[in-house]
Every structure is written in structure tokens, then in C-alpha cells.
């Protein structure tokens, strides 16, 4: 029963709790017991809010007993990447610099989750200040990918703890943030679902920034339906975040019809499939055929401008990150992870003209993705071109030649941070070595409903998302 | 032909940006700076003159 509860979808937990078939106290306790048993090895959490979570669960139980109206996530535990402000609970950004920082207020999305009844289990491990895709952290030690913890493989980052916690049943759902792929990369490497919404769909107020114009926040879950459920709660205009849209928030769950008949899917081969390793390429091509067999209309499309995203987004991210970190870089330089400090220092050698060039390329890329989606409903590509590398691996070989691991991990996700389009990563297979393979579906701005419908339909056709890692 | 930047140039550029970093630190950064400037130089080869720069804000 406890393992069943630990791996139950959020939607099932919410329904069982609302019907009093299971107590929120039991659900929270099951997760705290797994964290106690497994997290010394997996290192998903920086802070576990055990007493507060149990107290909130008892409150949730009392509310049900009293017959009070409850929210969509009543009694359901969630965990947060440690860059979401939490009132009274330290929020470190995975850093030494903010090790003792305790915010006075919750981030907007945390407040919305709590208002819907969710219970915060704890704060999750991450790359320092979210600046890196591997999932490494010099201060806290790297979390272990649960699919091969013995071989010490990367969980992916920067939302490393979020990927590990959800994959290992240490949380039914987590929040991540995604500046170059930091929700989708750990989702791909850990075999879970991760949704990067449209830029402006979800408030970033109270979330530590890496690069304001590229940062997105979103859910990480085991099923697409659960991401739809969380997005409904999280999304919407927030006066505290000027980038948020006033567009109404649809009922994303209601959009999950399971039907892809007539859905136009553009497979991204050039740059995307071509750079994937043979196993990843084969898995994504098989997934495309599965959607086609279910009635989708498949064609291939190219996005030539994405070849320049590496240089352009580097100019933007490094400049914005340096702007945020200048004070600490001067006053506390030795308190940074040396690798992160180096990445920040490089921003000092980028000119204003470089930054503007980057923004010009962004216009090209955004227009190109918009044009591709004018005649298609979603685009399909691998999430990462490779499966989880070992923690000490720095070089790899992709489908189109040798590459640094860091660059390889963000290569296929970063274009859609740059363009701002919504993208949902889902597992679509396993390597011969037993490591998850991920694909992403990309949609029109603010059309998360179609992206989620396609991704959910794929999960109804396959069982990759139901597989669990074997944990000692 | 790449421009090669000596330590004095990097020291000066860092100071313009408001930082005083040691020569040892700058020397360690130098190959990465060279590589990043090579990468950024590729942006100058693109036909961008008629492209208005954007941010991601979509007023909706």
C-alpha cells in the first residue's frame, strides 16, 4: 500500500483524499518515510519540512472531517525546487551565499498551490542559482539519478532534486524552473514528465532568477494529466510579475481527450533528431509513428535559425545572470561553486551590442517557430540527445559528432526558452542500459492545452511513464 | 584570424565592468573567454540589420 501511495498519480491521490479513502496524514507519512529511507543516497532534498507537512496534513484531515470545501490539491504533498520562496522556510538557491535566507512570504505559485490544498514536503536540491544543466552542486553534492544510482549518473539540472524526487517516489509532484531546459532535462534523464509553459503563463514572482527573459517555472510529475492539474492551479495573471498574461486559464484536464486524430505533428529532424544518439533517435521516431498510427498527421519541419541559439542565448543568459549576481560576485566571490563563478565571470566580457544581437536572433527564432506552428499543432523532438551521462563525464559523442556534455544537454531544449513556446517533456523509451529516453512536444504560445493533449494521448498509447526505478 | 587577448587587456575589460580579478584568475579564464568571444563573433556574421531585437514579452 505504501509503495502504491508513493507512486500514485496526483489526480488519484486528490480523488482518494477527497473521498476519505485515504488520509492526507498517511500520504504525507508514506513520503516522509521514503525520504528518510532513501534520500541519504539519492540527495533529492535540501530541506525536509516533516513537522510542518504532518501538521498541514492533520489540518487537511480535519477540514475534510468538518465537511469544509476543499481545493483541487487538498492534502496532496508537493516538493519545491529550492529557489521558490517559502515563508518561514529557508530558500537557498542551492548556494552557500543564501544558505540561511528565510523568506517572509511565499512565491505566488507556492501560495496558489497551498490555497488549492497542497502540502509542501520540502525544498529540493538544485544546481547553484540554477546555472548549469548537469545537476552538479559543489556545496551539497550531486543528487543521484535513481535509474542508475550505483553508477552515479547525472540527474540533469538545474532542477535536479525535482527530477530525482518525482522519479523515486519521494514526492508525487514537484516544481522546477527552466531557463535553458532545467525542467525538461531532468525530466528526460529521470524518466518523468516536465512542463515548461509559455513565457508569461505562470508567475515568477518570488522565484530566484537566473535570466529574467528566459526563466520559466512549471510542474514536474509522473503523468501529463498531473502536470495539467498543477498548471491549472499555478497559471494566470499576477500583478507581481509584469510578464504574466491576462489571458484566461483553461481547464487543461478537460482538454485531455486522448484523441490525436487530425493533429498535425511536425517532426524536427535537422539539428534535433540528427544530433541524437542512435537509441534516442530510434525511440523518438517510434513515438512519432505511434502518434501517426493513432491518427495524427505527421510531417517533417526544419528550424534553421536554431543553429544560432547557442551563441545568442549565451549572450542573453550570461549578461542577465551577471547583472543579478554582480553584488555577490564582488563581495562573496569565494562562496560560489567555482564552476558557477566562472560562468558568471564570463558575462563581464559580453558587450551591450552582443546582448542586442542575441535579442535580434531571438526574434528570428521566435518567428521561425511561430511559422512552423502556423501549419502544425505541435512540434516533436528529442528532449535531450543522449541519456544520463556519468557524473564525471565531460565529453560525449552525439549523432553528429563529439560534444561537451554540458552543451549536449541543453542543445535541444534551449531554443524554446529563447522563443518562449510551451514544451512538454515525456519519457518515450529506455536505452539498452536501462536509462530513460525523453521527447518533447512544443506548441503555440498559450496553447498548453494542445501540447498536453498530445502528450497525454501518447502516454495513453505507451507505458514508459509508469515504469519505476529499482531502489535499494 | 582570432583576436588574442593578453592579460592586461582582460584586466582592463574586467575593470570596465567593475571587477578587480587576480591575474591568476584571469589567466585561468582566458581560454574560455577566447572561446566565448569566438562564439559571439558568429552573431556578427548574420544578416540582422533589418531585425528588430525583441524580448519575450507578449502583450496578451
pLDDT, averaged per 10 consecutive residues of chain A (472 residues), comes to 87 97 98 97 97 98 95 98 98 98 98 98 98 93 90 94 98 98 98 97 98 97 98 97 95 97 98 98 98 98 97 98 97 96 97 96 96 98 98 94 96 97 98 97 98 98 97 80
The verdict on whether A245 is a catalytic residue reads no
The rounded distance, in Å, linking the Cα atoms of B43 and A350 is: 12
B40 contacts chain A (CB < 8 A): yes
- Given a cut of 60, whether residue B1 has pLDDT beyond it is no
In a domain, residue B21? The reply is yes
Residue A259 CB contacts under 8 Å (≥ 6 apart), including other chains: A295, A453, A457
- Given a cut of 80, whether residue B4 has pLDDT beyond it is no
H-helix or E-strand containing A427? strand A423-430
The rounded distance, in Å, linking the Cα atoms of A242 and B57 is: 9
In a domain, residue B58? The reply is no
- pLDDT value for A117: 98
Contact A436, A379 (CB under 8 A): no
The verdict on whether A188 is a catalytic residue reads no
pLDDT bucket at B58, cuts 50 / 70 / 90: low
A25-55 burial by CB neighbour count: b if 16+ within 10 A, else e?
A: bbbbbbbbebbeebbeebbbbbbbbbebbbe
In a domain, residue B34? The reply is yes
- Interchain CB distance below 8 Å, A360 and B48: yes
Torsions phi, psi of A330, nearest 5?
-85, -40
- Given a cut of 90, whether residue B55 has pLDDT beyond it is no
Q: In the Cβ-directed half-sphere of B36, how many Cα atoms lie within 13 Å?
A: 24
- Interchain CB distance below 8 Å, A362 and B54: yes
In a domain, residue B29? The reply is yes
Rg of chain B over Cα atoms, rounded to whole angstroms, equals 16
In a domain, residue B39? The reply is yes
In a domain, residue B27? The reply is yes
- pLDDT value for A1: 54
Beta-carbon count within 10 A of A278 CB: 8
- pLDDT value for A151: 77
- pLDDT value for B5: 86
- Interchain CB distance below 8 Å, A308 and B43: yes
The rounded distance, in Å, linking the Cα atoms of A243 and A428 is: 33
Q: Provide the shortest C-alpha distance from residue B43 to chain A (in Å).
A: 7
In a domain, residue B59? The reply is no
Chain A residues with CB within 8 Å of chain B CB: 198-200, 213-214, 242-243, 245-247, 308, 310-312, 314-315, 318, 326, 329-330, 342, 345-346, 348-350, 354, 356-364, 366, 420, 445-446
What is the span of the domain harbouring residue B27? 7-45
Active-site choice (A177, A182, A213, A403): A182
The verdict on whether A330 is a catalytic residue reads no
What 3 state SS string does A315-364 have? HHHHHHHHHHHHHHHHHCHHHCCHHHHHHHHHHHHCCHHHHHHHHHHHHH
- pLDDT value for A158: 96
Q: Tell whether ipTM is more than 0.85.
A: yes
| pLDDT-above-90 percentage for chain B | 80
Facing B18 at nearest CB: one of A213, A326, A356: A326
* Residues of chain A with C-beta less than 8 angstroms from the C-beta of B53: 356-357, 359-360, 362-363
Contact A398, A261 (CB under 8 A): no
- Interchain CB distance below 8 Å, B46 and A357: yes
Number of domains within chain B: 1
- Interchain CB distance below 8 Å, A348 and B48: no
H-helix or E-strand containing A372? helix A352-374
- Interchain CB distance below 8 Å, B33 and A247: no
Amino acid at each position: 500500500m505504501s509503495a502504491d501511495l508513493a507512486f500514485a498519480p496526483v489526480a488519484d491521490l486528490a480523488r482518494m483524499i477527497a473521498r476519505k479513502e485515504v488520509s492526507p496524514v498517511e500520504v504525507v507519512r508514506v513520503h516522509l518515510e521514503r525520504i528518510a529511507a532513501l534520500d541519504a543516497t539519492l540527495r533529492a532534498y535540501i530541506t525536509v519540512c516533516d513537522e510542518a507537512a504532518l501538521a498541514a496534513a492533520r489540518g487537511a484531515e480535519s477540514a475534510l472531517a468538518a465537511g469544509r470545501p476543499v481545493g483541487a490539491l487538498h492534502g496532496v504533498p508537493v516538493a519545491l525546487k529550492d529557489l521558490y520562496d517559502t515563508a518561514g522556510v529557508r530558500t537557498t538557491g542551492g548556494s552557500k551565499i543564501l544558505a540561511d535566507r528565510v523568506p517572509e512570504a511565499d512565491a505566488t505559485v507556492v501560495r496558489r498551490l497551498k490555497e488549492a490544498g497542497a502540502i509542501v514536503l520540502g525544498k529540493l536540491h538544485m544546481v547553484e542559482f540554477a546555472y548549469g544543466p548537469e545537476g552538479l552542486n559543489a556545496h551539497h553534492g550531486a543528487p543521484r539519478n535513481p535509474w542508475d544510482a550505483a553508477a552515479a549518473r547525472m540527474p540533469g539540472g538545474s532542477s535536479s532534486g525535482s527530477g530525482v524526487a518525482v522519479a523515486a517516489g519521494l514526492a508525487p509532484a514537484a516544481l522546477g524552473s527552466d531557463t535553458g531546459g532545467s525542467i525538461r532535462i531532468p525530466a528526460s534523464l529521470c524518466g518523468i514528465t516536465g512542463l515548461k509553459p509559455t513565457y508569461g503563463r505562470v508567475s515568477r514572482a518570488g522565484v530566484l532568477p537566473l535570466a529574467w527573459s528566459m526563466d520559466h517555472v512549471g510542474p514536474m510529475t509522473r503523468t501529463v494529466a498531473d502536470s495539467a492539474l498543477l498548471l491549472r492551479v499555478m497559471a494566470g495573471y499576477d500583478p507581481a510579475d509584469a510578464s504574466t498574461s491576462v489571458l484566461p486559464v483553461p481547464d487543461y484536464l478537460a482538454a485531455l481527450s486522448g484523441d490525436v486524430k487530425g493533429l498535425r505533428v511536425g517532426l524536427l529532424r535537422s539539428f534535433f533528431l540528427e544530433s541524437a544518439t542512435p537509441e534516442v533517435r530510434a525511440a523518438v521516431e517510434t513515438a512519432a509513428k505511434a502518434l501517426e498510427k493513432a491518427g495524427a498527421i505527421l510531417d517533417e519541419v526544419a528550424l534553421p535559425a536554431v543553429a544560432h541559439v547557442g551563441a545568442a542565448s549565451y549572450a542573453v543568459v550570461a549578461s542577465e545572470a551577471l547583472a543579478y549576481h554582480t553584488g555577490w560576485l564582488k563581495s562573496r566571490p569565494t562562496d560560489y561553486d567555482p564552476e558557477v563563478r566562472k560562468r558568471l565571470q564570463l558575462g563581464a566580457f559580453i558587450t551591450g551590442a552582443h546582448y542586442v544581437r542575441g535579442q535580434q536572433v531571438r526574434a528570428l527564432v521566435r518567428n521561425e517557430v511561430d511559422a512552423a506552428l502556423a501549419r502544425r499543432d505541435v512540434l516533436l523532438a528529442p528532449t535531450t540527445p543522449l541519456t544520463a551521462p556519468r557524473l564525471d563525464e565531460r565529453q560525449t559523442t552525439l549523432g553528429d559528432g563529439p560534444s561537451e556534455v554540458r552543451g549536449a544537454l541543453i542543445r535541444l531544449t534551449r531554443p524554446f526558452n529563447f522563443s518562449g513556446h510551451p514544451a512538454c517533456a515525456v519519457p518515450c523509451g529506455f536505452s539498452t542500459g536501462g536509462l530513460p529516453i525523453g521527447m518533447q512536444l512544443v506548441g503555440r504560445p498559450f496553447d498548453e492545452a494542445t501540447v498536453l493533449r498530445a502528450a497525454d494521448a501518447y502516454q495513453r498509447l505507451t507505458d514508459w511513464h509508469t515504469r519505476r526505478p529499482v531502489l535499494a | 584570424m582570432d583576436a588574442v587577448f593578453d592579460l592586461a587587456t582582460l584586466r582592463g575589460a574586467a575593470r570596465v565592468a567593475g571587477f578587480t580579478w587576480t591575474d591568476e584568475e584571469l589567466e585561468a579564464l582566458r581560454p574560455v573567454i577566447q572561446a566565448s568571444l569566438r562564439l559571439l563573433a558568429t552573431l556578427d556574421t548574420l544578416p540582422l540589420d533589418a531585425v528588430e531585437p525583441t524580448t519575450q514579452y507578449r502583450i496578451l
